[in-house]
Structure 1
Amino acid sequence: MEDLIKGVDEVEIRHRDRRNDDDDDSNNSESNVGVGHSRFTWAQVHMDHWGLYKRLTSEQQYSEDVNYAADIEPSEEELSDYTIACAKLWELDFNRLTPGEDYEIDVGEGKRVHDTEDMTEASLFTWVNEDVLRKPTYSRFCALLNNYNPYQGYKEDETDEDKQEQAAFIEEISRTAPIKYLYAYLSCSSIFTEDEEEFKRMLIELWFTLYDRGGTSESSSSFEHVFVGEIKQRGEEQVSGFHNWLQPDAETQLLTVQFEWNEVLKSLSSMFIGVSPEFEIALYTLCFFAGGQENHIEVGPYPVNIKCYRLGDKIGSVFPIAEA
């Protein structure tokens, strides 16, 4: 039997493109999420502080570095089985959103993979609390999304300010429980033996170093492919990557959807809904270092296979697939 897609077949998501807009991107930043002919517009939030993220990391203000004590120390059982450690990350995602309180989605009646028509008139996201985008790790994550050319095969114009935003994002999430646990796990497992500052530099290199995709050097990165998305232009245009909800049963926090991005179809994409940026970075990094291409785990109530494809020593792609 074909997999049932929970959700909708079209999600329009637009971010201001700094390459086509001369205005300062610290003002009037807006995300529009819509479905079919109906479009739900997230409340316009003036992110005046986004411009501050372009400063040197040492000149920025971060959340208080919370001491989580024993919660971030991996147990012997977790160290002996990384899949148990993955489940622990779900428990440590204190920034995860709550359905019905922080957002509401309408998954409609569902659809089959081969169906191309919109199966619901409503928007996927019917309501999102605008305070969500003001959370430090969420805000810094969103500030990164307009740094990329969406078309695969074009060399990225990465500026010093882009790199400072990247470093600031890693610094911010490194103060959260999932990333602290990731560092403790990799250290205790002797997978990563350097100090915490080197660990942060490693995360920046792993997720943001530009590499060749589509035949052009420095045209893509793990972060761009997994969290932002790219458009393949060979033959019929297709969306590649894009497994993050912050760019799109109402309680479900793992969905498979079909949608359009920049007017190009993504025929099938699985993504966690409402999880924090730090949770996904920690989970996918842990699977990359401790797991393989197939990572059959349980996170919260969800049995899932985290598919992790390597591109040399970098992440080519990584995404969740719901399992029965």
Structure 2
Amino acid sequence: MARGQGINQELSDVLNELWKLDVNRMKPGKDYKINLQGKAGFVAEGSNYARDSARAPLFAYVNENKLKSIDTYAHFINLLDNYEMSTGVTEHVTHEELQENHLFLDGVLKTEVMKCAHRYLVCKGLAQSDPAQFKSQLYDIWFKLYRRDKSGGEDSCGFEHVFVGETKHGKEIMGLHNWVQFYHQEKHNHVDYKGYKARNNKDTPDEDDHVLNLQFSWNGLVKPVGSCFIGVSPEFEVALFTIVFLLSDRRVTNVTVKVDEYLLEIVVYRFGRSIGTSYPKMISSNNRDF
């Protein structure tokens, strides 16, 4: 493995352990099928026009029975309609929505993926061993509301930005780095997949990849390039991004890891004691150029 890539080996080892434990990860070709189609084109800054290189949706099939029957997916999906889309609009959390947040975290904490992440963070002195205290820490990281737009009240949180997506003054897409939300939005004709984004001509993705850089429009706004895991469980993403967030107190953390066959850059932005945004960027796959 080339040292020039700056791969963080310790973190890669931990994330590969999480990967092996992710029994709720969907299997490509069996639990879901994606249709990559064409390579997305250039979008001018500030423009909401993108050439459509993908006439069909990204997701040709997803096993909805699994989404409904696996606790963490089911609880995750219940959270997707809990937020105001635009920044600057104050979020009001109802008692029912609060309960849904806690049910999701309780479900995540029962998984072997999150138990492994918790043990690692305790060993690093970054989390308390008491599960209730760890849950409270996770709540602050992911669900504590903060002001993203200075003109309004508390209008955002890590979970909304990363997993649900939001818009800035109704003019720009922010976040939305989750495949389940993408699939749901696409199914309801709110998202239009425009094509994949390749890092270079040699690194074109294939339909079994679990990480994808892509271009899409959402309610008429264009995201020139976004990135997300495909098929992984909610607990895997929460565990991975929480670990990277807690390992550094920098405002922006960029770390290169090798997870399974993927060389990735994991990016995490800090917003005080909460996540501002987090996402993976595919660098390479299938052991090419390592």
Q: 1:178 is matched with which residue?
A: 113
Bigger drift between 186-195 and 176-185 goes to 186-195
2:51 paired with 1:117: yes
Q: 2:186 is matched with which residue?
A: none
Q: Tell me if structure 2 keeps the 8 A contact 1:113–1:268.
A: no
- Superposed CA deviations along residues 91-149 of structure 1, whole A, max 9, x for unmatched, are 11111000111011100132334492111222211111121221211010000010000
- Superposed CA deviations along residues 138-163 of structure 1, whole A, max 9, x for unmatched, are 01000001000001111001111111
Alpha-carbon distance, 1:194 to partner: 4.2
Q: 1:305 is matched with which residue?
A: 265
Q: 1:105 is matched with which residue?
A: 34
Aligned-partner Cα distance in 1 for 2:42–2:108: 35
User: How many residue pairs end up in the alignment?
Assistant: 244
Aligned-partner Cα distance in 2 for 1:308–1:267: 19
Runs (4 or more) in structure 1 with deviation over 4 Å come to none
Aligned-partner Cα distance in 2 for 1:82–1:198: 23
Which amino acid is 1:302 matched to? Y
Alpha-carbon distance, 1:193 to partner: 2.5
Q: Which of 269, 278, 284 pairs up with 1:318?
A: 278
2:149 paired with 1:192: no
2:177 paired with 1:232: no
* Structure 1 unmatched runs, 5+: 1-79
Secondary structure of residue in 2 paired with 1:227: helix
Q: Tell me if structure 2 keeps the 8 A contact 1:310–1:317.
A: yes
Q: Tell me if structure 1 keeps the 8 A contact 2:40–2:214.
A: no
Q: Tell me if structure 2 keeps the 8 A contact 1:87–1:300.
A: yes
> TM-score of the superposition, structure 2-length normalised?
0.80
Which amino acid is 1:186 matched to? L
Aligned-partner Cα distance in 2 for 1:304–1:99: 19
Q: 1:252 is matched with which residue?
A: 209
Alignment of 1:80-91 (within 5 A): 81-91=10-20
2:99 paired with 1:164: yes
Secondary structure of residue in 2 paired with 1:247: helix
Secondary structure of residue in 2 paired with 1:147: coil
- Superposed CA deviations along residues 149-198 of structure 1, whole A, max 9, x for unmatched, are 00111100111111111011000111111100111111122211341111
Alpha-carbon distance, 1:300 to partner: 1.3
Which amino acid is 1:209 matched to? K
Q: Which of 238, 247, 267 pairs up with 1:281?
A: 238
Aligned-partner Cα distance in 2 for 1:213–1:268: 21
Secondary structure of residue in 2 paired with 1:166: helix
> TM-score of the superposition, structure 1-length normalised?
0.72
